[in-house]
Amino acid sequence: MNTRPQLIAYADRLAGSVSGLADLLDGPLAGAFGGVHVLPFFTPHDGVDAGFDPRDHATVDPRLGTWDDMRSLAQGRTVMADLIVNHMSAESEQFLDVRERGDASPWAPMFLTLSSVFPDGAAEADLARVYRPRPGLPFTTMTLGGERRLVWTTFTSDQVDIDLRTPQAWDYLDSVVDALTAGGVTQIRLDAVGYTGKQAGTDCFMTPATDEYTERIVQRAHARGASVLVEVHGHHTQQIEIAQKVDHVYDFALPPLVLHALTAADLEPLAHWLRIRPANAMTVLDTHDGIGIVDVGPSDLRPGEPGLLEPDQIDALVEAIHHNSGGASRRATGAAASNLDLYQVNCTFYDALARDDQRYVLARLIQLFVPGTPQVYYVGLLAGENDMDLLQRTGVGRDVNRHHYTPDEIAHHLERPAVRAQLDALRVRAAHPAFDGAFTWDVQGTRGRMTWTAGDEHAELDFDVTDGAYAMTVSAGGGVVDVVSSGSLAARVG
């Protein structure tokens, strides 16, 4: 499996366009990344949910480029794109037709209403049981063909849920998969797939129907030469189970466990996770969403099963993030901002570590050494700070970590020691043969050692979470060379 690092980026917010993204990857970022996850570039890329509510999921927003630009981007690298499985825009051509014609529309069966899942009506207990990542019930009252209906809207009223029990839904999804794979995409990320299997008598999350739908999509992707990454936030045991059925899962537990290690000087929860985690994971520190908490805690989805962190450890971690960010994350999370997420803290990873360059680079190195395919979010690569101006303009909490970079800002940040250190490590991670070998690790109190070995080649990371000291070394020409260390970072800063 190709595990070279991948960049995660919005084309518009980092480079202005798809071709601009290619220029960055072939220019100042050359050698650091073997692939790129281009966050929603569909029409429109700037809807109410930053492109996760496309009106046309099968076209490239012309303001960003064309499918030819996407195919050019895919030359010599892996390109990942999103298949938004659970919902589509309330302003899509299909749903607008349903709004006008109601059940007379050929698209009517494709969209979920309350009665689609509960044809005999729903009791209070049925509705209270439905799992939703935000407060309130997942329904929006809309007029369809002159009749008031309760339309299923898991995320926002602008994103209407799709009924995957219908042929219309599968015709639609097939058309999107065809467009993506014809456009050079070879990895497909299933966005919000956990919410697709809505069934009466269940919590409507990760149900047996979800497994069936995921398998069908995987089969379709494989037939077109693409692999699949499943995006699910939930109890860590669910991630382990899902990993056995698909090509890739996210290691969403890693970010909070690394933060816990670096803020509480406690490596044991991370060590426990390393013993049981799936190897076919995409590792992240941050993404376009917040820092997941549900992924390391106990969950109503798995009653009685402990999390990777105890409740008091999670409380301390969240408070540490709020403190380290100067309270910015508190203003961007939960009831303080719209687009509420019950299971995430909205904050850049750099601010979550109090803008401490040494600890931040160590966090990245740990990610790069943990088995799997490292994905590095564009704001994280540039050691970005919380964008409170954008939050104030939009009121969307996750926008603190979705900065729009100008070319001058990019040039400036690429010269920062913390960014240069990350790029040095990424280029080694992308090319050194040791990372194709076997992984071992050892934890002794607050000290850790991670090692990759392939024949005579090796790469090693030694670190201590008490003071954030670290050294990354690799074999070269029969000897050993330093790649980055806390000492060399301090010299760069000096």
Q: What is the pLDDT of residues 6-23, one digit of tens each?
A: 999 999 999 999 999 999
Amino acid at 478: G
Ramachandran class of 304: left when φ > 0, alpha when ψ lies in -120 to 50, beta otherwise: left
CA nearest 341: which of 403, 291, 287, 392?
Answer: 291
Under the banding of pLDDT at 50, 70 and 90, the label for residue 134 is confident
> Which positions are annotated as active-site residues?
191, 231
* pLDDT tens-digit map of 80-128: 999 999 999 999 999 999 999 999 999 999 999 999 999 999 999 999 9
For residues 378 and 38, the answer to whether their CB atoms sit within 8 Å is no
Query: 311-320, 448-457, 464-473: which has the minimum mean pLDDT?
Result: 311-320
Residue 329: name the closest of 293, 381, 377 by CA.
Answer: 293
Structural domains in the chain?
Answer: 6-85+167-435 (3.20.20.80), 93-161 (3.90.400.10), 436-493 (2.20.220)
User: According to the model, what pLDDT value does residue 338 have?
Assistant: 43
Mean pLDDT across 51-80: 97
- Structure-token pair, residue 407: 């070319």
Question: pTM, whole model, 2 decimals?
Answer: 0.95
What amino acid is encoded at 334 in this protein? G
What's residue 340's pLDDT?
42
Residue-averaged pLDDT of the chain: 94
Q: How confident is the model at residue 335 (pLDDT cuts 50, 70, 90)?
A: low
pLDDT on residue 336: 55
Q: Is 141 exposed, middle or buried (0-12, 13-18, 19+ CB in 10 A)?
A: exposed
Q: Which of 163-172, 265-274, 310-319 shows the lowest per-residue confidence on average (mean pLDDT)?
A: 310-319
Distance CA 283, CA 492 (A): 27
Q: Give the lowest-confidence range in 313-322, 336-345, 435-444.
A: 336-345
- Convert the pLDDT of each residue in 214-224 to its tens digit: 999 999 999 99
Instruction: State how far the Cα of 423 lies from the Cα of 70, in Å rounded to an integer.
Output: 24
Which pLDDT band holds residue 494 (cuts at 50, 70, 90)? low
Per-residue confidence at 365, pLDDT binned at 50, 70, 90?
A: very high
Q: Are 105 and 98 in contact (CB under 8 A)?
A: yes
Q: Is 191 helix (H, G, I), strand (E, B) or coil?
A: strand
